[in-house]
Amino acid sequence: MARKEKPVFTPPPQELRRKAVNFKKGFGLKLMPDEQRRLEEVVEKATDAFTKDVAERLRRLRAALDDVASGNDRADLAMRAIRSLSLDIKGMGGMFKYPLLTAFAKSLNDFTKDMGLPGPRQLDIIAAQIDALYVVMARRITGDGGPTERELLAALKQATARYKRS
């Protein structure tokens, strides 16, 4: 049996604590409600910038999809762009009260994550997911959306599960 290496422990570093933690000035380890509200306002103020940012990313997603569909020499790069853009949108949507955007972007990112160049069916599914992202933003669907959106998400999940490896 291989001999287990003994772990070597170092006490928690205290330099930063000594420098910044005190009993008089600053923020507690848990935010007070008014502090939390002020921080949330920072996010809310960025909502317009967020919608512009996502609109631009969606435009780039469509352009990337066109490159992949045309099978030109930028197709590999375009697939990378689809993965990267969908990951960005996944990470942003929920912060700005668009969890459905996050859900569709996650679906697209999961679908394309380990994919080479997609076939025709897979291209259709990628296009449908990008369309769904557009719809969420165009209709400003905050929250989880209604029954139609939930059905669409469920249908996309089924389709992605079926065609991911085909």
Partner 1 sequence: MSDENVADHERIDFSKISFLVVEPNKLMGQMVRDVLMMLDAQYIDRARNFETAVGILRLGRIDVVITEWALSDDHTGHTGMDIVHWIRNDPASPNRMMPIVMMTANSEEEYVCRARDCGVSEFVAKPYTVNGFYTRLAAAIARPRQFVRVGEYFGPDRRRRRLPDYEGPERRAPTEAWSLTG
* Binding residues for partner 1 (CB under 8 A): 4-14, 16-17, 19-31, 36, 38-40, 42-43, 45-46, 49-50, 53, 84, 87-88, 90-96, 99, 102, 109
User: Nearer to partner 1 by C-beta: 96 or 104?
Assistant: 96
Rounded to a whole number of angstroms, the minimum distance from the CB of residue 165 to partner 1 is 18
Q: Is 46 helix (H, G, I), strand (E, B) or coil?
A: coil
By the 8 A CB rule, do 96 and 50 touch? Answer: yes
User: Nearer to partner 1 by C-beta: 100 or 125?
Assistant: 100
Rounded to a whole number of angstroms, the minimum distance from the CB of residue 6 to partner 1 is 8
Rounded to a whole number of angstroms, the minimum distance from the CB of residue 120 to partner 1 is 28
Closest alpha carbon to 144 in 105, 86, 107, 94: 94
By the 8 A CB rule, do 91 and 116 touch? Answer: no
Rounded to a whole number of angstroms, the minimum distance from the CB of residue 18 to partner 1 is 10
CA distance 90 to 163: 21
User: Nearer to partner 1 by C-beta: 92 or 125?
Assistant: 92
- State how far Cα 8 lies from the chain centre: 38
User: Nearer to partner 1 by C-beta: 32 or 121?
Assistant: 32
CA distance 89 to 80: 14
Burial 8-32 (b: 16+ CB within 10 A, else e): eeeeeeeeeeeeeeeeeeeeeeeee
User: Nearer to partner 1 by C-beta: 87 or 128?
Assistant: 87
Rounded to a whole number of angstroms, the minimum distance from the CB of residue 115 to partner 1 is 17
